[in-house]
Structure 1
Amino acid sequence: MTKSAETTYDLVVFGATSFVGQILTRYLLETYGLGKTVNWAIAGRSESKLNTLKSDLGSKAKDLPVILADAADEQALQAMCAQTRVIISTVGPYALYGEPLVQACVRTGTDYCDLTGEVQWIRKMVDRYEDEAKASGARIVHCCGFDSIPSDMGVWFLQQQAEQTFGEPCQNVRMRVKALKGEFSGGTVASMMNIAKEAGADPKLRKELANPFSISPAGHRSEARQPSLKGAEYDKTFNVWLAPFVMGAINTRIIHRSNALQNARYGKEFTYDEAMMTGRGMKGRLAAYGITSGLAAFFTASAIKPSRWLVEKFVPQPGEGPSPEAQKAGYYDLRFVGRTEDGKTIITKVTGDQDPGYGSTGKMLGEAGMCLAFDIPAEKEGGFWTPSSLLNGSLLDRLTRNAGLTFEVLETR
Structure 2
Amino acid sequence: MENESRKYDIVLLGPTGYTGRFVAEYIAQYFPPDVSWALAGRSHRKLHELAVDIQKFNADRKPPGIEILELLPERLQRLTRKAKVIINAIGPYSIHGSAVVEACAFSGTQYLDFSTETAWIRDVIQMYDATAKAHKAVIIPAIGNSSSPSDLTAFLLTKHFSQYYGRPPDNIQTSFNMRLNGMSGGSLASVVSVASRYGVWNLLFPNPGFLTPNPSSRHKQLFKRIFGYTFDAKLGHLTTSFAAAGNEAVVHRSKFLRPDLYSKNLSYQEYMPATGVFQAVIIHLVTIIGVLLLALPPFRSLVDRLRPKETGSGPKRELLQDEMIELNAIASGRTNYGSKELRAKYTFHGPMYGHSVLLAAEAAMVLLDRGVDTGLGGEQYGVLTPSCLGMAFVDRLRESGVALEISMGETMNRNGHPEEDVIRYKHSMVVMPRQ
Aligned to 2:399: 401
Aligned to 2:323: 330
Aligned to 2:231: 235
Secondary structure of 1:339's match?
A: strand
Structure with the greater relative contact order (CA < 8 A, sep ≥ 6): 1 or 2?
Answer: 1
Displacement of 1:191 after TM fit?
A: 1.9
Partners of 2:330 and 2:342 within 8 A in 1: yes
Q: What pairs up with 1:16-55 in 2 under 5 angstroms?
A: 16-33=15-32, 36-55=33-52
Output one character per residue of 1:249-306: Cα deviation in whole Å (capped at 9) or x when no partner: 1100000000110116221111011111111xxxx33322222222222222222112
Partners of 2:207 and 2:245 within 8 A in 1: no
CA distance in 2, matches of 1:74, 1:41: 19
CA distance in 2, matches of 1:388, 1:394: 10
Aligned to 2:363: 368
> Which residue of 287, 290, 293 maps to 1:298?
290
Q: Structure 1 length normalisation: TM-score?
A: 0.88
- Change in Cα spacing, 1:178 to 1:199, as seen in structure 2 (3 Å) is closer
Aligned to 1:191: 190
Aligned to 1:112: 111
1:290 counterpart letter in structure 2: I
CA distance in 1, matches of 2:234, 2:364: 36
CA distance in 2, matches of 1:372, 1:211: 30
> Which residue of 277, 280, 283 maps to 2:273?
277
- Change in Cα spacing, 1:264 to 1:296, as seen in structure 2 (3 Å) is farther
Secondary structure of 2:4's match?
A: coil
Output one character per residue of 1:41-84: Cα deviation in whole Å (capped at 9) or x when no partner: 111111122122223324437722111112x2222211211111
Displacement of 1:387 after TM fit?
A: 1.0
> Which residue of 208, 211, 214 maps to 2:207?
211
Displacement of 1:340 after TM fit?
A: 1.1
1:332 counterpart letter in structure 2: I
CA distance in 2, matches of 1:93, 1:352: 26
Displacement of 1:313 after TM fit?
A: 5.2
> More displaced, 187-196 or 267-276?
187-196
2:241 counterpart letter in structure 1: F
1:198 counterpart letter in structure 2: R
Q: What pairs up with 1:349-364 in 2 under 5 angstroms?
A: 349-356=345-352, 358-364=353-359
Partners of 1:147 and 1:247 within 8 A in 2: yes
Aligned to 1:63: 63
2:294 counterpart letter in structure 1: S
CA distance in 2, matches of 1:406, 1:244: 25
CA distance in 1, matches of 2:230, 2:124: 38
CA distance in 1, matches of 2:127, 2:142: 18
Secondary structure of 1:329's match?
A: coil
Partners of 1:345 and 1:412 within 8 A in 2: no
CA distance in 2, matches of 1:314, 1:166: 53
CA distance in 1, matches of 2:205, 2:186: 20
Displacement of 1:316 after TM fit?
A: 6.2
Q: What pairs up with 1:79-228 in 2 under 5 angstroms?
A: 79-178=78-177, 180-200=179-199, 210-216=206-212, 218-219=213-214
Partners of 1:199 and 1:303 within 8 A in 2: no
- Change in Cα spacing, 1:238 to 1:162, as seen in structure 2 (3 Å) is same
CA distance in 2, matches of 1:320, 1:359: 15
Partners of 1:212 and 1:253 within 8 A in 2: yes
CA distance in 1, matches of 2:244, 2:305: 25
Output one character per residue of 1:297-355: Cα deviation in whole Å (capped at 9) or x when no partner: 22222221122233345556673323333333211111001101352111110011223
Aligned to 1:248: 244
Stretches of structure 1 lacking an aligned partner (at least 5 in a row): none
Partners of 2:372 and 2:380 within 8 A in 1: no
- Change in Cα spacing, 1:104 to 1:3, as seen in structure 2 (3 Å) is farther
Output one character per residue of 1:73-119: Cα deviation in whole Å (capped at 9) or x when no partner: 22221121111111010111100110111111111111111111211
Q: Structure 2 length normalisation: TM-score?
A: 0.84
Partners of 2:87 and 2:113 within 8 A in 1: yes
- Change in Cα spacing, 1:206 to 1:363, as seen in structure 2 (3 Å) is closer
